[in-house]
């Protein structure tokens, strides 16, 4: 195909040949790497309104394309357009092989306490396993990890942890899990010239944050999760929707994306109740939601779901008509009466962990007490990508690592595919450019540090209040 030429509105740039495509999402410009844009991504017109047609185009040549796609397991997407673009992509600079082994020190701010504490163990296990694999490979770099708590937004735990990690001269910090927590420390991390890499942040607010190119994440924006969830609820037959929403960057961002999609599908949001981190009583919100008598209620919370969900069911709302999100999709077998949420559904970014071979078993070797595995694969890949970027840069300086993260993900041009650290590192040491796809699936960063590919899992609860994957 010829080079694409796309002209947008006043907020949109023009794509000519090798330049970057800028699309408007919700009135804000979004830049995507050149390549194939496929079904399930947002492609907006010059009036910033989602187009409502669906079409599939031929795949562009693999050596010159990168995809922006969402895998949703057969759920039909509404308001999605496929666009095929090819252009020239300059090859990345060939790095000189390091003459000595690099020593990379990273820190983590992952939840050991607070409303997302259930996510901390699998994320820390993913980090530890990556460190183990990198060091065992003995290929030009070793990694040391220092683990600290992020807490939640009700405390200054994250700030204290970041201050401690920076005093130990870390080059990168993995975390936080919560977008709201990340927003409390990102300026501190960036000012120190250190990379912040989150395996779980999903707030759209972080896409355009002024981060000097130092903030990265391999969890997709909630623009994608909200679209999948909104279409799921609509396809399940709900015409009206209530939402219980945590009032922070994560909750309000996901709620906005969900509402837009659900209403585009012909539904109506009849109640939207907010609460703040640290709240312990939700009687007023529950009363308002149940009085509106919606067909479905989306619970966009963290650990507060342990209180909110029994309250909603106790007020007469059927547990099977509840919808969970990544912040609260958890094992409730020890928290809820049997059958309380049987039939309820939820969404969670990431591949089916059962499809990842021995990865789950290897995580259990690191932490035999694990019962949750959410974002473990993303945490593993975050560390591998940081190590590969350091190796490609021949440096453990934060800004140097950041400058190579898009390249090693395959987001800046041609590269040789690799799916494990050892083979990826060898490509770099041999003078090549690597395109790493990890245990969390295909990874390709755009210039804003966001992933351009994502898989959104759809899950359903059984009578034992545990969930299983449907797609």
The answer to whether 106 and 173 have CB atoms below 8 angstroms apart is: yes
Between 71 and 305, the more confident residue is 305
CB distance 12 to 432 below 8 Å: no
Indicate if the pLDDT at residue 295 is higher than 80.
yes
> Per CATH, is 102-221+358-434 categorized as 2.10.10.100?
no
Alpha helices (runs of H) in 177-304, residue ranges in sequence order: 179-191, 222-235, 249-264, 283-291
Q: Encoding tokens for residue 95?
A: 């790095």
Predicted confidence at residue 100, as pLDDT, reads 84
Q: Which residues contact 10 (CB under 8 A, 6 or more apart)?
A: none
Site of tokens 């800004």: 399
Nearest to 363 by CA among 353, 355, 352: 353
> Span 305-328, mean pLDDT?
98
Contacts 24+ apart (CB under 8 A), 156-160: 157/113, 157/114, 158/109, 158/184, 158/185, 159/184, 159/185, 159/188
Confidence check: pLDDT of 192 > 60: yes
DSSP result, 375-430: THHHHHHHHHHHHHHHHHHT---HHHHHHHHHHHTTTTS--EEESSHHHHHHHHHT
Q: What is the pLDDT of residues 50-78, one digit of tens each?
A: 323 322 222 223 332 333 333 333 333 32
Report the share of the chain in percent with pLDDT over 70: 79
Decide if 358 contacts 380 (C-beta within 8 A).
no
**Secondary structure of residue 146 in the 3-state scheme:** strand
pLDDT of residue 52: 31
At 253, list the tokens: 């961002």
Question: How high is the pLDDT of residue 351?
Answer: 87
Q: Which residues contact 42 (CB under 8 A, 6 or more apart)?
A: 23, 25, 50, 79, 80, 223, 227
Q: What is the pLDDT of residue 99?
A: 59
User: Lowest-pLDDT range, 49-53, 316-320, 321-325, 419-423?
Assistant: 49-53
pLDDT category at 48 given cuts 50, 70, 90 is very low
The predicted structure's pLDDT at residue 362: 96
pLDDT, position 149: 98
Q: Quick one: pLDDT at residue 355? A: 76
| Cβ-proximal residues to 443 (8 Å cutoff; 6+ apart), any chain | 218, 381, 385, 409, 410, 436, 437, 451, 453
**Average pLDDT of the residues in 399-427:** 95
More confident residue, 453 or 329: 329
Report the pLDDT value the prediction gives residue 414, as an integer from 0 to 100: 82
Q: Tell me whether the omega of the peptide bond preceding residue 176 falls within 30 degrees of 0, making it cis.
A: yes
Please state the pTM of the whole predicted model.
0.76
Contact by Cβ (8 Å): 455, 447: no
Average pLDDT value for residue range 85-101: 47
Domain boundaries, the chain: 5-84, 102-221+358-434, 223-352+455-469
Closest by alpha carbon to 40, among 75, 12, 64?
75
Average the pLDDT over each of 22-31, 97-106, 428-437, 457-466 and give the range with the smallest value.
22-31
- Could you give the 3-state DSSP secondary structure of residue 226? helix
Least confident of 77-86, 201-210, 301-310: 77-86
Q: CA-CA distance, 174 to 200, in Å (whole number)?
A: 10
CATH 3.40.50.2300 matches 223-352+455-469: yes
Q: What mean pLDDT do residues 100-112 have?
A: 97
Domains 102-221+358-434 and 223-352+455-469 share a fold: yes
Tell me: the pLDDT tens digits for 200-224?
999 999 999 999 999 999 999 999 9
354: left (phi over 0), alpha (psi -120 to 50) or beta: alpha
pLDDT at 27: 37
Angle value at C-alpha 47, between 43 and 50, nearest 5 degrees: 35
CA 442/CA 458 separation, integer angstroms = 19
pLDDT band at 80 (very low <50, low <70, confident <90, very high): very low
pLDDT 10s digits, 358-382? 999 999 999 999 999 999 999 999 9
Is pLDDT of 47 > 70?
no
């Amino acid at each position: 195909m010829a080079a694409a030429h796309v002209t947008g509105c006043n907020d949109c740039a023009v794509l000519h040949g090798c330049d970057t495509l800028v699309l408007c999402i919700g009135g804000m410009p979004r830049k995507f790497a050149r390549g194939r844009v496929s079904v399930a991504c947002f492609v907006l017109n010059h009036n910033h309104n989602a187009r409502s047609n669906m079409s599939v185009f031929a795949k562009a040549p693999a050596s010159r394309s990168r995809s922006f796609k969402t895998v949703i397991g057969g759920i039909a997407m509404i308001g999605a357009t496929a666009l095929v673009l090819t252009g020239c992509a300059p090859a990345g600079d060939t790095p000189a092989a390091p003459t000595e082994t690099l020593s990379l020190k990273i820190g983590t701010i992952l939840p050991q306490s607070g409303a997302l504490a259930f996510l901390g163990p699998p994320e820390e296990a993913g980090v530890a396993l990556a460190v183990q694999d990198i060091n065992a490979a003995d290929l030009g770099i070793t990694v040391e990890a220092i683990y600290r708590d992020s807490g939640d937004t009700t405390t200054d735990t994250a700030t204290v942890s970041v201050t401690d990690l920076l005093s130990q001269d870390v080059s990168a910090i993995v975390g936080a899990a919560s977008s709201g927590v990340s927003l409390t420390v990102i300026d501190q991390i960036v000012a120190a010239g250190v990379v912040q890499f989150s395996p779980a942040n999903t707030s759209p607010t972080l896409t355009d944050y002024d981060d000097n190119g130092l903030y990265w994440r391999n969890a997709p924006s909630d623009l994608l999760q909200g679209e999948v969830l909104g279409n799921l609820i609509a396809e399940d037959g709900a015409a009206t929707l209530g939402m219980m929403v945590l009032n922070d960057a994560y909750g309000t961002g996901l709620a906005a994306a969900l509402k837009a999609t659900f209403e585009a599908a012909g539904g109506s949001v009849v109640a939207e109740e907010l609460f703040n981190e640290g709240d312990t009583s939700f009687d007023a919100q529950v009363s308002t939601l149940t009085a509106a008598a919606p067909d479905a209620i989306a619970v966009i919370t963290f650990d507060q779901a342990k209180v909110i969900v029994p309250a909603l069911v106790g007020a007469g709302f059927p547990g099977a008509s509840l919808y969970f999100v990544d912040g609260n999709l958890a094992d409730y077998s020890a928290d809820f009466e049997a059958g309380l949420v049987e039939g309820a559904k939820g969404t969670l970014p990431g591949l089916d962990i059962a499809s990842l071979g021995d990865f789950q078993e290897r995580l259990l070797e690191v932490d035999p007490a694990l019962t949750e595995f959410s974002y473990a694969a993303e945490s593993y890949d975050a560390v591998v990508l940081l190590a590969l970027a350091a190796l490609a840069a021949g440096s453990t300086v934060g800004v140097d690592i950041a400058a190579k993260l898009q390249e090693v993900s395959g987001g800046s041009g041609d590269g040789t595919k690799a799916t494990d650290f050892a083979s990826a590192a060898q490509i770099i040491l041999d003078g090549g450019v690597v395109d790493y796809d990890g245990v969390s699936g295909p990874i390709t960063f755009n210039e804003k540090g966001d992933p351009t590919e994502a898989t959104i899992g759809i899950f359903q609860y059984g009578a034992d209040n545990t969930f299983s994957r449907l797609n």
